[in-house]
Chains A and B, each alone.
Chain A
Amino acid sequence: MNRWALATTGVLSGTIGVALVVRVLANLAQRLPIRYRRSGESWAFIGPALTLMSAILIVPGVLTVVNSFRDARSERFVGLDNYRWLISDAQVRSVLANNLLWLMVVPAFTLAWSLTIAVLADRLSGRWEGIAKSVIFLPVAISLVGASTIWGFVYAVRPEGRDQIGVLNAILSALGIEPVAWLLEPTVNDFALMAIMIWLETGFGMVVLSAAIKAVPSETIEAARIDGANERQVLWAVVLPQIRSTMLLVYTTVLISTLKVFDVVSVLTSGNFGTDVIAHRFIIELFRFRDYGRAAAIVVVLMLATTPFMWLNYRFHRREDLTR
């Protein structure tokens, strides 16, 4: 089947097809004894979604947890061997250390940065604020692969003496400093990759925080001013305490995506030169070493690491009620 026909079939069966299934199920429910009719009808609505979620998420999720206790081919139980490998292998440990570095730098930096910008923008008049915010928000729409290309070009390096075509090395050479191989030099490259994530996530933080700042009741600010507080005191003692849960929301949201970072590392360094992270290591175990047991253990650890933050995030989310 050609792909256009295939896509049309997919769209039709995913929309009209689903609607028909719900209709048939709802009609079948009418044949049930009267006391089950209403609940039967309700199940007709949620049934198709539950079925797909079971097939795509629940069953595979359980199987992966089980596989994490089995060997590379998922044939034999090996107890905690895969987890033991995770904490004892020197190479994996350096990968985990990288993740820790990302976790310490990216969420905190993104939060501080987006808060600064949100506060600055809030004090300016409408039009300027709007333009600046749009520009900073723009990267949010771009894929991580696209962002990696953009930044790969910023980091481009040529041998000393030739014209630098990457912005950063051009600035360095204008200052008379030797060019830096941003993506090859250990530790420097980690920060070069993290900068991409920060560039991408700051817009999200800024938009959410700006909305929260605008929602701070103006009476509280006026009252503080009448009491003689200066702008800095108003910010620290009145505004920030009232947007604390939004700040935590931004922090945990960025933290969760940082834990799962994959694209940037995969595209720009393939995890070489000491930049590997856990979600990329998973793909390597899966496709290069074909060790399903270890790959499964990695992803189970990833899940356990994200869960508490997801829970916190959900709590902050509810308090902010951003869905409305």
Chain B
Amino acid sequence: MTSQGSKRMPGRRRRHIIVQRCVLGCVAAAWLLPTIGLLVTSFREKRSALGSGWWTAIARPFDSEWTMENYSRVLTDQGMGNAFVNTLVVVVPSTLIPMTLAAFAGYGFAWGRFAGRNVLFVLAFALMILPLQITFIPLLRLFARVDLQGSFVAVWLVHAGSSLPIAIYLMRNYMASLPRELLEAARVDGASHLGTFWRVVVPLSLPAIASYGIFQFLWTWNDYLIALVFLGTTTDREVATVNLAEMIGTRGQDWNLLTAGAFVTMVVPLLVFFSLQRYFVRGLTAGSVKG
């Protein structure tokens, strides 16, 4: 539907549009309000944050005492700074490993020649029905036996492995849609499968690879369950979401600290969201079935 210009519109319809604008504005405000409360409170002194509503500080911004102390306390005393680094250590390999594996596999499924190719592709994709939890008990035992329990390597492997079905599905479908002539031209020029892959397929598939990469980056950044189970809550290993959840458990009433901690965990996803919204939407809708 195209939106109507507001000129030369009958009075009733114009009134209609004003009402709609108000309703939508109210919904948007209600959606934003909780997050604004979080942000405002994270800059308030403990006494005022726990003594009066955050909206009173907005109403009288110059009478209120603002502070960065919550952030410095959360980052150092509460170990959020350390947990933030742990999150990076988890997220970057957990994004790049499945991206690489799935790019190769996607090419193999799209352009390789072997018996049972399509059946195998459907089976790989069908693994999406497995809930993450189904792997926990055997994998915990396995990692304990090979001395990887509570290690970053274990988390990378779990994130990468569990993400492969959706990743392969996205890559294969994108790569299969590339024009056949291009690939055949490369083959006629004497390129091997690997040569075609690197020189033709990867450059043309960058949009799909980027969409998947952003989706997986945010997914692993925001993950709580896998990090909790495979890395645990010890201070040297915990990631930011686990640190925040622990803080809610132990300091549940210190809202000045909790809000600052929550904002630290949210800042990277929000930056990604604002800067790469277009790719983000594509990755999100494509990968929404995961989990």
Interface residues of chain A, those whose CB is within 8 Å of chain B, are 3-4, 6-7, 10-11, 14-15, 18-19, 22-23, 26, 38-39, 41-46, 48-50, 52-53, 55-61, 63-65, 67, 74, 117, 120-126, 128-129, 131-132, 134-136, 138-146, 148-154, 156, 163-165, 167, 170, 199, 202, 204, 207-208, 213-214, 216, 218, 221, 231, 239, 253, 256-257, 260, 262-263, 266-268, 270, 279, 282-283, 286, 292, 295-296, 299-300, 302-303, 306-307, 310, 313-314, 317, 322-324
- Contacts of B255 on A, CB cut-off 8 Å? 153, 156, 165
B281 part of interface (Cβ distance < 8 Å): yes
Q: A10-B97, A132-B28 are in contact. Are A124 and B270 (CB under 8 A)?
A: no
Q: Are A11's CB and B114's CB within 8 A? A: no
* Cross-chain contact A310 with B244 (CB below 8 angstroms): no
Chain B at the A interface: SS class: helix
B109 at the interface (CB under 8 A from A): yes
* A6: B residues at CB distance < 8 A: 89, 152-153
Q: Is B265 a contact of A165 with CB atoms below 8 Å? A: no
Instruction: Return the chain A residue nearest B269 by Cβ.
Output: A141
Q: Which of B89, B193, B284 contacts A41 (CB 8 A)?
A: B193
- The reply to whether the CB of B71 lies closer than 8 angstroms to some CB of chain A is no
Q: Tell me, yes or no, whether B76 is within 8 Å of chain A by CB.
A: no
Indicate if the CB atoms of B156 and A14 lie closer than 8 Å: yes
Q: Scoring B residues 189 to 226 as 1 if CB is less than 8 Å from chain A, else 0, what string do you get?
A: 00011100100000000000000000000100111110
With beta carbons under 8 angstroms apart, the residue of B28, B54, B135, B265 that contacts A135 is B28
Q: Which residues of A contact B284 (CB under 8 A)?
A: 140, 204, 207
Which of these, A134, A202, A221, contacts B1 with CB under 8 Å?
Answer: A221
Q: Report Cα–Cα, A283/B226, bound state, in Å.
A: 11
CB–CB A208/B135 < 8 A: no
If A3-B85, A45-B193, A260-B291 touch, whether A53 touches B93 (CB-CB below 8 Å) is no
Partner of B124, one of A53, A60, A136: A53
Chain B: minimal CB distance from A253 (Å): 5
- A48 surroundings in chain B (CB, below 8 A): 101, 104-105
The answer to whether A64 and B134 have CB atoms under 8 Å apart is yes
A49 with B104, Cβ < 8 A, contacts A3-B85, A131-B28, A139-B31 known: yes
Q: Least Cβ distance of A126 to chain B in Å?
A: 7
**Which of the listed residues A14, A59, A67, A268 has the most CB atoms from chain B within 10 Å of its own CB?**
A14
Contact with B104, one of A18, A123, A239, A257 (Cβ below 8 angstroms): A18
CB<8 Å pairs between A and B, sample of 10: A49-B101, A52-B160, A67-B138, A123-B17, A124-B17, A145-B224, A165-B49, A260-B132, A270-B249, A310-B128
Residue of A nearest to B261 (CB): A149
Q: Which residues on A sit within 8 Å (CB–CB) of B3?
A: 122-126, 129
Q: Does B165 contact A (CB under 8 A)?
A: yes
Closest chain A residue to B127 by CB distance?
Answer: A57
Q: Which residue of B272, B285, B289 contacts A207 across the interface (Cβ within 8 Å)?
A: B285
Bound-state CA distance A283–B102 (Å) is 30
A141 touches B272 (CB 8 A): yes
Q: Which residue of A lies closest to B51 (CB)?
A: A163
- For B152, the chain A residues whose CB sits under 8 A away are 3, 6-7, 10
Q: Which of B34-42, B59-67, B178-186 contacts the other chain?
A: B34-42
| Docked-complex contact B174 and A323, CB < 8 angstroms | yes
Q: How far is the CA of A148 from the CA of B41 in the complex (A)?
A: 15
Q: A42-B193, A145-B265, A165-B53 are in contact. Are A53 and B133 (CB under 8 A)?
A: no
Q: A49 contacts which chain B residues (CB < 8 A)?
A: 101-102, 104-105, 124, 164, 168
- Tell me if B170 counts as interface (CB < 8 A to partner A): yes
Q: Quick one: CB contact mask for B54-83 with A, threshold 8 Å, 1 for yes?
A: 110000000000000000000000000000
B130 to chain A, nearest CB (A): 5
Contact B105 A45 (CB under 8 A): yes
A143: chain B residues within 8 A (beta carbon): 221-224, 241, 265-266, 269
The distance from the CB of B143 to the nearest CB of chain A, in whole angstroms, is 11
- Complex Cα spacing A315 to B20, Å: 34
The CA-CA distance from A231 to B20 in the complex, in Å, is 13
Known: A132-B27, A207-B281, A303-B129. A60 touches B96 (CB 8 A): no
B250-291: CB near A (< 8 Å → 1, else 0) gives: 001001001101100110011011000100110011101101
Which residues does chain A contribute within 8 Å of B104, judged by CB atoms?
18-19, 22, 45-46, 48-49
- The residue that B244 contacts in the complex, of A52, A61, A145, with Cβ under 8 A, is A145
Question: What per-residue 1/0 map shows which CB atoms of B93-119 lie under 8 Å from chain A?
Answer: 100110011101101110011110100
Given known A39-B114, A141-B273, contact A135–B105 (CB-CB < 8 A): no
Give Cα distance in the complex from A150 to B225, angstroms.
19
Is the beta-carbon distance between B52 and A61 smaller than 8 angstroms? no
Whole-angstrom distance between the alpha carbons of A312 and B203 in the complex? 33
- Residue on A nearest B2 in the bound complex, by CB: A218
Q: How far is the CA of A50 from the CA of B161 in the complex (A)?
A: 9
Interfacial chain A residues near B160, Cβ < 8 Å: 14, 52, 56
Decide: A136 near B31, CB < 8 A? Known: A26-B193, A218-B1, A310-B129.
yes
B181 to chain A, nearest CB (A): 20
